[in-house]
Amino acid sequence: MSYAVTNPATGETVKTYDTITDAQLEAAITAADDAHRSWSRSTTVAERAAGIRRVSELHTERRQELAEIIVREMGKPIGQALGEVDFAAAIYEYYADHSPDFLKDEPIQLLAGDGSAVIRRSSLGVLLGVMPWNFPYYQVARFAGPNLIIGNTILLKLAEQCPESAAAMHRIFLDAGFPSGAYVNIYASHDQIERVIADPRVQGVSLTGSERAGAAVAEIAGRHLKKVVLELGGSDPFILLSTDDLDATVQNAVDARLDNSGQSCNAAKRFIVADELYEPFLAKFTAKIADIEATDPTSADTALGPLSSLKAAERVDDQVKRAVEHGATLVHGGTRNGAFFQTTVLTDVTPENPASQEEFFGPVALLFRAKDEADAVRIANDTPFGLGSYVYSTDHEQALRVADGIEAGMVFVNVVLADGAELPFGGIKRSGSGRELGRFGADEFVNKKMIRIG
């Protein structure tokens, strides 16, 4: 395997990077372990939080440079790339502000006996992060931010197509004052990652990626009794039961589908519409999404760029063709031009169609007609995934009822693109386990040590 920046908009390989040698990998693990034994044990939570605050500031100071890197690496439209850098900065700032409170001792009310008891949170040690290409800064922020404040040290493997952003983040942590070994970027191979997970100095691993990658990492981690957090794929339902403004709801639906050129784990992907609204929604949604064309990601006006690579576009192309072969109706789109993929709408996707159980990682929307509320929930849950979901209803009680019935880690009611540093992110079923962001994201890789005093 090789690490390379290949611009999907042009096909040009901009720069290549060498995979780490086994000796360099051993040195990286040793440095992270040494940093945990020294730096993390000799600094306070407040001091480590101050370092993360500086990481936030450096993201803001370097936002243009950082954004341009990921436009080159994976074709993210520049406006969205700048937004990602800003969100990463906000996540670091959030944890700098709130981690001292999250890590305070937690008293336990004793049922019997004299004395007291407390939960004291402390670090576990070296952690491995295996992060994807679609949101490189954001993914690293939600993992590294809280864990460095906790006192864990980080080995970070970013996707092979993001070596430049990986190097830029490593430099930011050093420039923010973190010692060598606190945060270490590793250009590792898959075989080397297996060795990292197995290493007794490594105490846990967080992976965001595909089901296949998650299963592989979980198997290795389980064999070596390591804590794992997995954020895998999603095929999030967007349920529309009623609305006072169909045009606004359609715009929200389009926005929810096309975020990051449709390459977001928790993007709305399956649109489940009440029978009486289905035809008008289909017409308006198709017209709106058809107006959006994939164009140059360096332009500030671009809403949809190329997919992350030629291979990614070919994969989506194959999925659409297979869906149609199995009976789906291609209402709009379905055309690929290199790594650029046309916005696409599919209907008549039956439960027997493989498309009904797959994640489409691109600008492809599947529309379903629901007879009633119960049918909408049934369709929403007819998936192996359970990451996020969206419910639109003018009936508050109905919305909460449907939210309760959806099998997912997150439900957004009458709102899209509303992720926040304070809101826990994660799923169930084949979408993974564990949480990132918010208070719960700072409570995964922690020793919750019980201290009972007589």
CA distances to 97, 107, 146, 430 from 357, rounded to whole Å, are: 41, 46, 34, 11
260: left (phi over 0), alpha (psi -120 to 50) or beta: left
Helical ranges in 76-158 per DSSP H: 78-102, 136-150
What share of the chain has pLDDT > 90, as a percent? 99
pLDDT tens digits, residue range 182-209? 999 999 999 999 999 999 999 999 999 9
What distance in Å separates the CA atoms of residue 217 and residue 433, rounded to the nearest whole number?
Answer: 13
- Per-residue confidence (pLDDT) for residue 408, from 0 to 100: 98
Distance between CA atoms of 390 and 301, rounded to whole angstroms? Answer: 27
Phi, psi (deg, nearest 5) at residue 28: -65, -45
- 3-class SS string, 416-437: CCCCCCCCCECCEECCEECCEC
Instruction: Report whether pLDDT(358) > 80.
Output: yes
Tens digits of per-residue pLDDT, 377-398? 999 999 999 999 999 999 999 9
What's residue 44's pLDDT?
97
The type of residue at 23 is: A
Average pLDDT over residues 21-40: 98
pLDDT in the model for residue 414: 98
29 neighbors 47 (Cβ within 8 angstroms): no
Q: Give residue 393's pLDDT.
A: 98
Pairing of strands 227-231, 236-240: unpaired
Pick from 142, 132, 130: which is nearest to 206 by CA? 130
| Span 135-167, pLDDT tens digits | 999 999 999 999 999 999 999 999 999 999 999
Of residues 250, 196, 180, the one with CA closest to residue 39: 180
Which domains occur in the chain, in start order? 3-232+431-453 (3.40.605.10), 236-420 (3.40.309.10)
Quick one: which of 71, 101, 89, 88 has its CA closest to 10?
71
Q: Give the model's pLDDT for residue 1.
A: 62
Q: What is the pLDDT confidence band of residue 113, given thresholds at 50, 70 and 90?
A: confident
Q: Tokens at residue 48, please?
A: 């480590």
Residue 2 binned pLDDT confidence (cut-offs 50, 70, 90):
confident
**What is the C-alpha radius of gyration for the chain, rounded to an integer number of angstroms?**
23
What are the tens digits of pLDDT across the range 430-453?
999 999 999 999 999 999 999 999
Mind telling me the catalytic residues? 231, 265
